Amino acid sequence: MADKIKGTLIIIGGHEDKTDGREILTEVARSVRFERGPLVVVTAATHKPDELAEEYTAIFKDLGVKQVAVLDIRERKDAHNPEHVELIAGAATVFFTGGDQLRITSQIGDSPMFRCLHEVYRKGATIVGTSAGAAAMPETMVVGGPSDESHRISALRMAPGLGLLGDVVIDSHFAERGRMGRLLGAVAQNPKNLGLGIDEDTAVEVVGGERFRVLGSGAVYVVDGAEIMYSSLSEQHAEGIVTVHDVKLHVLGADDHFNLVQRRPLRPDEPENNGKK
């Protein structure tokens, strides 16, 4: 990293509460409070852009956000449109809805909008993604693979992501869709990446690209492959189970903190962890 990152990421495991306490979306709304620009809802991932735009606009207005704008990206040239780039350039918060993460990256990857997104993030904007919008955040994203099944080499599909967060892979709907197998597979492919499995109605709020805290009602699973001394990934045929020894796993709940640089969870009694109840 050349410059210190001043922005924040809010990475949501999907199905965030939209009707009751709305803890996570309230935190998203709060990110706009002291900023001048709008909250921009980007519907690039979804096949139902109008429906999601309407739903999120109503929620964020209800949560007190004064300016909510919608950026409806349906093809690659939409990410080159100077008006769209300008909208991102002035945004306090950019919110990526769910849908298909490949729709996000294939449409905005390396576009003027993409470069602008990185710039506003470095300068202090908050970038939010839920479900597919969450999966798309890292350098490399998981795009497919079976749920509720143990990992077979051939089954996992990955692709280059938005690159807003390095050295992690992210999977959403984590416990709900039984995705431990595929996250373990993704980490075993290259243990330099920390695996983050985020449950529904649960989020990590990453500050300055260096640490996060957990929000919401579910758990965040951190899969650390640094101590893997043996995996069968390079040996076995495509349909075999991938053997992996000595994976480290942390399970975190609301208000827990994690240091991404040191790859360590913080105990609630550690001084740095001042947010823990």
Task: List, by residue number, the catalytic residues.
Answer: 131, 149, 173
**Which residues pair with residue 169 across a beta bridge?**
195
Q: How far is the CB of 253 from a copy of itself (least distance, A)?
A: 3
Binding site for a copy of itself (CB under 8 A): 147-151, 174-178, 180-181, 184, 199, 217-219, 221, 230, 232, 236, 240-254, 256, 265, 267-268
Q: How far is the CB of 14 from a copy of itself (least distance, A)?
A: 13
Q: Could you give phi then psi for residue 202, rounded to 5 degrees?
A: -140, 145
Sign of the Cα torsion 13, 189, 249, 169 reads negative
Nearer to a copy of itself, 17 or 78 (CB): 17
Q: How far is the CB of 227 from a copy of itself (least distance, A)?
A: 8
Nearer to a copy of itself, 3 or 271 (CB): 271
Q: Which two tokens stand for residue 2?
A: 């050349």
Q: What strands lie across the sheet with 39-42, from one edge to the other?
A: 68-71, 39-42, 93-96, 126-130, 8-12, 202-207, 211-216, 257-259, 264-266
Nearer to a copy of itself, 38 or 185 (CB): 185
Nearer to a copy of itself, 118 or 263 (CB): 263
Q: How far is the CB of 117 from a copy of itself (least distance, A)?
A: 31
Closest C-alpha to 90, from 147, 32, 131, 49: 32
